[in-house]
Structure 1
Amino acid sequence: MSASPSTPPSEPTLQKATIDDIPTIKAMVDNAYSIYIERMGKKPAPMSEDWERILQTHDVLILKESDLIVGSITFHIEHDLHALKIDNVVVNPATQGRGYGRFLIRHAEMEARQRGIPNVTLYTNAKMVENIGMYKKLGFEETGTIVEDGFERVYFHRCIE
């Protein structure tokens, strides 16, 4: 059922992910990241994550619109670097292009500010050139490229103070 012109669509909401959300998150990750397998020559790291463990050790939020999960963000605090590190941002491919990725990243920045953390960091695979461009447009500065766990990762930083 679609909304009529007089009925605006529901606003997206963020909530803490639960164990029951893992199958949906995993399916969304697999669907979104599968386009990179051929380019990278292997599955991107998020496709092999132990999401039950991640749920216990990181903040995992889901973005819902009209009761459907349309995105997710995973982050944790790196106390030694005084930074909130975004580990994964994923948007369901069927709902990409609506600003959900930007919304999720801006939420992480807000979380950092509320916790008194002056920096946000993240990385993406060097072969995911679309992400590199998006992060630069969002004000992140590239800080280096490192090969980790068999992946060439491009790191980014944004000071939010």
Structure 2
Amino acid sequence: MLLRLATPEDHEVVGRATVAAYSPFIGGERPDTGYVEQLRDAARRAEEADLWVACSADGAVLGSVTICPEGSPWRELARPGEGEFRMLAVDPAAQGQGVGRALVEHALAHFRVSGASGVVLCSMAEMTAAHALYGRLGFEREPALDWSPAPGVELLSFRLTFAMQES
């Protein structure tokens, strides 16, 4: 599996895969908040944050994650000095193959190298498989940061604090 920054040629497939990955959680009775269009708009994420993709050996995009540096409009929870990532998505055909874990580990490594004190994120309450992954990687629930961007949409927050390095 290769991890790299998304290119403009990737944007359409990343948008489709992100919508497909989120579809089980955003359908049904949820109000239309325009979130599907945000999920589909990989070009905007790539312009305003760092959009990373995981690719197979033959170059097919398997998944993506949006790493939100300080100053990015995509940040929702992070304080100065903390990292945040959003829209972790694995194409349904590639789920269960370690793609999500690889993308999260890449985001964590990125923030460690940049000197962040830790990472925060939020996730839909229904995304229990993602929550389990975050727990395996050391994230803990941060209920004080839970929020609701729209009626019927509950976002749970998670935090991973990096251990202080000895000098």
| Aligned position for 1:160 | 162
Asked if the contact 1:74–1:88 (Cα under 8 Å) also holds between the matched residues in 2, the reply is yes
1:46–1:18 CA distance, 2 compared to 1 (3 A): farther
Report the count of equivalent residues. 150
| Cα-to-partner distance string for 1:18-76 (whole Å, 9 max, x where unaligned) | 22211100110121111123466256875321332211110001111121111111011
Q: Which has the larger radius of gyration?
A: 1
Take 2:29 and 2:80, find their aligned partners in 1: how far apart are those partners?
A: 29
Runs ≥4 in structure 1, deviation > 4 angstroms?
42-46
Q: What residue ranges of structure 1 are gaps of 5+ in the alignment?
A: 1-11
Q: Percentage identity across aligned positions? A: 26
Take 2:32 and 2:93, find their aligned partners in 1: how far apart are those partners?
A: 20
1:13 aligns with 2:14: no
| Aligned position for 1:65 | 56
Q: What residue ranges of structure 2 are gaps of 5+ in the alignment?
A: 72-78
Take 2:48 and 2:136, find their aligned partners in 1: how far apart are those partners?
A: 30
Q: CA RMSD in A?
A: 2.1
Letter paired with 1:65: S
Question: Higher relative contact order by CA 8 Å / sep ≥ 6: 1 or 2?
Answer: 2
Q: Normalized per residue, which structure has more strand? A: 1
Q: Secondary structure at the match of 2:69?
A: strand
Take 2:34 and 2:149, find their aligned partners in 1: how far apart are those partners?
A: 11
Asked if the contact 1:29–1:46 (Cα under 8 Å) also holds between the matched residues in 2, the reply is no
The equivalences for 1:1-161 within 5 A come to 12-38=1-27, 41-42=30-31, 47-49=36-38, 50-66=41-57, 67-78=59-70, 80-144=79-143, 145-150=146-151, 151-161=153-163
Letter paired with 2:149: E
Take 1:43 and 1:132, find their aligned partners in 2: how far apart are those partners?
A: 24
Letter paired with 1:26: G
Give me the TM-score of the superposition, normalised by structure 2. 0.80
Asked if the contact 1:141–1:158 (Cα under 8 Å) also holds between the matched residues in 2, the reply is yes
Asked if the contact 1:26–1:47 (Cα under 8 Å) also holds between the matched residues in 2, the reply is no
1:75–1:44 CA distance, 2 compared to 1 (3 A): farther
Letter paired with 1:62: V
